[in-house]
């Protein structure tokens, strides 16, 4: 463990650390922007919130910046490439914070977009980890090389303690957030894009088995309600997308990838009748928080942390239960928007709140 007494360090500009703005370098996986998802949005929006609160937060440019320029290194995602980086910062006495963006459950592992051999091996490793949490692995090495782990939920925090023996004192749950701009989208753009003004079921996410678009479409066959699927196929999952298209009825619209900052995304939330996410796990899913900003009725998976965020204000379905997915989605489609749900998300899950909670963790370390 590091000493609890830290001597003020002089940075490359010659300023004592105690007299200048806190400087944080942030990094995700090297291929993060090739297939951006919730983890990348979390990093970008946390960075913006920190900057707004006076922190000098920057995306780390490893070929141009030395780690010695940082007061804190903040990593996003549980990635093998982060092990050496965390240990390098540790040797330099630079505190390391990791937003874990992880979930450990054998059912979700089976539905990752991998080969059967790789999925079976992952489940075997999970069983070994559950039985012997001290068993060495790159994940355990990473988690123990970091000064603070920031899971998105208390249930994820419990997994880190149970499966990797991370001390509770080094874990600080920080929830995901949503942009307040999603509270007031204009539905006109979405209606023009999909060609009608009926309330529709919205299903968002990268198209892959874990997100369970195929199971959802199977559950909704014959309902004759309009459905909008947002997302592109993950690399290597074009066959899964083709299977989804084959089973989709004439009232299903695939709109492909929609950029997070696109006005169309806010418009889709404003125009839809409900949002369904029957994934094998979500923690709780950024799109659920964003849609909830305007009180959209939610049908969410029981796998993950959604119930911890929304409690009784959402409907929950097991991802394998096609009957429940169908019934709860049709029920939600008939419900009005819920101002109590919208208020909950605005009050508790803004990116400003996320940035404040994150800054408090930095303050403990520096």
Q: Which residue has the higher pLDDT, 5 or 165?
A: 165
Q: Which residue has the higher pLDDT, 291 or 109?
A: 291
Take residue 178 and report the two structure tokens written for it: 């949503």
Q: What's the pLDDT tens digit per position in 114-137? A: 678 888 888 888 888 889 999 999
Give domain 180-348's CATH superfamily.
Glycogen Phosphorylase B; (3.40.50.2000)
Q: What's the pLDDT tens digit per position in 42-60? A: 999 999 999 999 999 999 9
Residue 252 CB contacts under 8 Å (≥ 6 apart), including other chains: 217, 226, 227, 228, 229
Examine the pLDDT at 2 and tell me if it is beyond 70: no
CA distances in angstroms from 184 to 38, 137, 179, 329, listed in the order given: 21, 45, 11, 23
- Kindly indicate the confidence band of residue 18, based on its pLDDT and cuts at 50, 70 and 90: low
With 0-12 / 13-18 / 19 or more C-beta atoms within 10 angstroms meaning exposed / middle / buried, residue 365 is middle
- Kindly indicate the confidence band of residue 157, based on its pLDDT and cuts at 50, 70 and 90: very high
- The pTM assigned to this predicted structure is 0.86
Q: Do domains 17-177+350-365 and 180-348 have the same CATH topology?
A: yes
List the chain domain ranges. 17-177+350-365, 180-348
Q: Which residue, chain included where needed, has tokens 């990593």? A: 75
Examine the pLDDT at 12 and tell me if it is beyond 80: no
The closest alpha carbon to 28, from 85, 67, 69, belongs to: 85
- What does the alpha-carbon distance between residue 283 and residue 202 come to, in Å, rounded to a whole number? 18
Q: Is 22 in contact with 71 (CB distance < 8 Å)?
A: yes
Class level of CATH domain 17-177+350-365:
alpha beta
Q: Which residue, chain included where needed, has tokens 């979700």? A: 108
Largest CA distance in the chain: 69
Residues written for the chain: 366
Take residue 55 and report the two structure tokens written for it: 């922190």
H helices present in 106-187, as ranges: 106-110, 116-131, 138-145, 154-164
Q: Is 205 in contact with 238 (CB distance < 8 Å)?
A: no
């Amino acid at each position: 463990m590091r000493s609890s007494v830290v001597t003020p360090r002089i940075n490359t500009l010659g300023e004592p650390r105690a007299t200048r703005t806190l400087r944080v370098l942030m990094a995700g996986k090297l291929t993060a922007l090739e297939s951006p998802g919730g983890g990348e949005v979390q990093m970008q929006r946390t960075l913006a919130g920190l900057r707004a609160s006076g922190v000098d937060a920057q995306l780390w440019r490893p070929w141009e910046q030395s780690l010695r320029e940082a007061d804190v290194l903040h990593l996003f995602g549980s990635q093998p490439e982060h092990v050496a980086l965390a240990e390098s910062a540790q040797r330099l006495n630079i505190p390391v914070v990791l937003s874990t963006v992880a979930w450990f459950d054998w059912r979700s592992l089976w539905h990752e977009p991998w080969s059967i051999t790789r999925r079976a091996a992952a489940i075997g490793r999970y069983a070994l980890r559950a039985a012997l949490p001290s068993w060495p692995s790159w994940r355990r090495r990473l988690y123990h090389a970091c000064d603070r782990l920031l899971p998105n939920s208390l249930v994820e925090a419990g997994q880190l303690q149970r499966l990797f023996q991370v001390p509770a004192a080094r874990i600080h749950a920080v929830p995901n957030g949503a942009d307040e701009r999603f509270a007031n989208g204009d539905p006109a753009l979405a209606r023009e894009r999909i060609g009608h003004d009926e309330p529709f079921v919205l299903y968002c996410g990268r198209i892959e088995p874990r997100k369970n678009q195929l199971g959802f479409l199977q559950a909704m066959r014959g309902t004759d309600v309009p459905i909008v699927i947002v997302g592109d196929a993950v690399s290597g999952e074009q066959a899964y997308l083709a299977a989804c298209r084959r089973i989709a009825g004439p009232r299903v619209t695939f709109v492909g990838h929609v950029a997070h900052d696109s006005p169309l995304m806010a418009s889709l939330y404003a125009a839809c009748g409900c949002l369904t996410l029957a994934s094998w796990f979500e923690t709780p899913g950024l799109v659920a928080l964003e849609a909830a900003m305007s009180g959209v009725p939610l049908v969410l998976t029981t796998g993950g942390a959604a119930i911890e965020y929304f409690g009784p204000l959402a409907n929950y379905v097991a991802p394998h239960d096609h009957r429940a997915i169908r019934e709860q989605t049709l029920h939600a489609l008939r419900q009005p928007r819920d101002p109590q749900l919208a208020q909950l998300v605005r009050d508790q899950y803004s990116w400003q709140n996320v940035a404040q909670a994150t800054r408090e963790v930095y303050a403990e370390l520096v």
